[in-house]
Amino acid sequence: MSRDDAFFAELQFDPTFLETQIRIISSDSVLMNVLSKLQIIDSSPATAENPPSAERTAKLVQEAEALDDFRRALDVQRLGMSNLVSIRYTAETAERAATVANTVTETYLAKLEQDRLEAAETASSWLRERLQEVGPKAQVVSEALPPVHKSDIRGIFIIVLAAIIGVSLGAVISLLLAFFDKRIRSPEQIMEIVGKPCMGLVPTLPKKRRKNKVDLLYSVANQPSSGLWHTLRHLDTVVTSVEAKGPNIVGFTSTISEEGKTTIAGNFAVMKARAGKKVLLIDADPYRKSLSHLLVSAVDETEKPELANGADADIASLIEKDQTAGFAFLRLGDQSDMDVTTQLFWSETMPKLSAVFKDYDLVIFDLPPLVALGDLQNAAQVVDKFILIVDWGKLTGVMLQTAMVMNPTVHEKIAGVVLNRADRSRMKKVFSPFAALLGKQSLLVGAKRR
């Protein structure tokens, strides 16, 4: 800004003049013309002579909102103590910011020129000539160009703040979910509810082995020194007794179905048979017959009758032999009447079975889950010790505790609990010193080799 007025040439610059021009640049009239040029608002006149008041009001409100948003992004200020005015505009792109800043400058200069012409037209001819040489003049010192760098780092702060809030919120949500999620995920929870030791953690079997039923039954033989192998070794110390006068009779059960009791019972039979023990494995779960299905896949199908349809036959004639591991087994088979079969199994078949137990060192029952209260009460009269299988994250603590209350006789005979499908990836989600220590079992093989 400069003043070439000859009358004030010897005077100092008036600071109020520069401030006035800054206010003019930011005035509604200048900025509304800018919005019109940038096509932010529609400056076309109404087609009707007397437009409806509601339509006019809506248009005025829209223009006021657009003007307010535009003014928030516009910055017009004096540069230090100089007579220069800086016009800055913040936009989504650098090109847009430069275009808007230049449009504001051009609109302001056009207004000054228009004001000068209007004043000259009302003055005398002498004054009209004089005014062309005097009065305030403005010039563009430097044209606005697209900035190389962003002038505002609030975006970075917003990203950092959002990341911090996101991480904090995620941690809070995780803690809340862990607090409200009462499902069993650690050995410590099991031992607190059942009051019996956790014998080990069995990881989830690979998909290939889960699809192949034969591999599923012989996992302990195919994976020496695995988590399953260490767990079964630990089970062996609590379910077998050298002081027993007869065979050790152990039953594998769970709280509900599909917790993996059948697989662990079958692998325990394989391990003991490979150690030279005489083992009899019995399918005593008439509701699923999972063990019978595994045994059918593991051996050649024979025409021998099964427990379900051979109640009148000699029990010894029903016993088959596994040719791979060497254990004996009894399949339950398909039954036509589950109620009759279940009653006969524990009332008539069991006394006959007990007569052949003396020929074995270990008898293993694959039992129904604890929710089958009647079957478990009958089994408790025959079985010496129970092994409870708990699937990771499947049961709540209340469910397990209720199962213990409903089966007091079984609860008393539980020798230990196995946490199934508790691999490392899952155990990372919970804090369990017990599981962390058991995880070191995998290092035993490496230490032996070194």
Report the candidate in 286, 318, 316, 315 with the shortest Cα–Cα distance to residue 302.
Answer: 318
In a shared domain, residues 232 and 110:
no
Q: What CATH number should be reported for the domain holding residue 61?
A: 3.30.1890
Distances (CA, A) of 87 to 38, 108, 335, 347: 16, 11, 91, 99
- Please report which helix (H) or strand (E) contains residue 321, including its range: strand 320-321
In a shared domain, residues 44 and 77:
yes
Q: Range of 166's domain?
A: 157-181
Local confidence pLDDT in tens for the 450 residues of the chain: 555 554 444 445 577 888 888 888 988 889 989 999 988 887 665 544 455 677 888 888 888 888 888 999 999 999 888 889 999 999 989 999 999 999 999 999 998 888 888 777 766 565 656 656 655 667 676 677 777 666 666 677 888 889 999 998 888 887 676 666 788 989 999 999 999 999 999 988 766 555 556 678 888 877 777 889 999 999 999 988 766 678 999 999 999 999 999 999 999 999 999 999 999 999 988 888 888 887 875 555 555 556 655 455 677 888 899 888 899 998 876 655 566 567 667 777 788 888 889 999 999 999 999 999 999 999 999 999 999 999 999 999 999 999 999 999 999 999 999 999 988 777 877 888 888 888 787 777 654 444
User: CB 21: neighbour CB atoms within 10 A?
Assistant: 19
In a shared domain, residues 366 and 289:
yes
User: CB 286: neighbour CB atoms within 10 A?
Assistant: 21
In a shared domain, residues 131 and 171:
no
In a shared domain, residues 177 and 187:
no
Which of 152, 168, 203 finishes a domain?
152
Distances (CA, A) of 411 to 184, 234, 403, 407, 416: 18, 19, 9, 6, 10
Question: Total structural domains in the chain?
Answer: 3
Which of 136, 152, 168 finishes a domain?
152
Report the candidate in 317, 335, 417, 324 with the shortest Cα–Cα distance to residue 370.
Answer: 417
Q: With the C-alpha atoms ordered 281, 283, 289, 295, is the resulting torsion angle positive or negative?
A: positive
In a shared domain, residues 177 and 188:
no
Burial letters 76-105, b for 16+ CB under 10 A, else e: bebeeeebebbbbbbeeeeeebbbbbbbbb
In a shared domain, residues 144 and 223:
no
In a shared domain, residues 172 and 201:
no
Grouping H, G, I as helix, E, B as strand and the rest as coil, residue 447 is: helix
Grouping H, G, I as helix, E, B as strand and the rest as coil, residue 133 is: coil
Rounded to 5 degrees, what are φ and ψ at 70? -65, -45
**The pLDDT of residue 29:** 87
In a shared domain, residues 176 and 187:
no
Q: What CATH number should be reported for the domain holding residue 334?
A: 3.40.50.300
Which tokens sit at 231?
């767990």
**The pLDDT of residue 293:** 80
User: CB 284: neighbour CB atoms within 10 A?
Assistant: 27
**The pLDDT of residue 82:** 84
**The pLDDT of residue 448:** 47
DSSP state letters, 397-437:
HHHHHHHHHH-HHHHHHEEEEEEES--HHHHTTS--HHHHH
In a shared domain, residues 91 and 124:
yes
Distances (CA, A) of 218 to 48, 266, 346: 90, 8, 29
Which of 152, 168, 196 finishes a domain?
152
pTM: 0.61
**The pLDDT of residue 432:** 84
Where residue 42 falls (left for φ over 0; alpha for ψ -120 to 50; beta otherwise) is beta
> How far, in Å, CA of 279 to CA of 155, rounded?
71
In a shared domain, residues 321 and 401:
yes
CB–CB of 100/21 below 8 Å?
no
> How far, in Å, CA of 29 to CA of 33, rounded?
6
User: CB 120: neighbour CB atoms within 10 A?
Assistant: 17
Amino acid at 187: P
Find the length of the chain.
450
In a shared domain, residues 131 and 191:
no
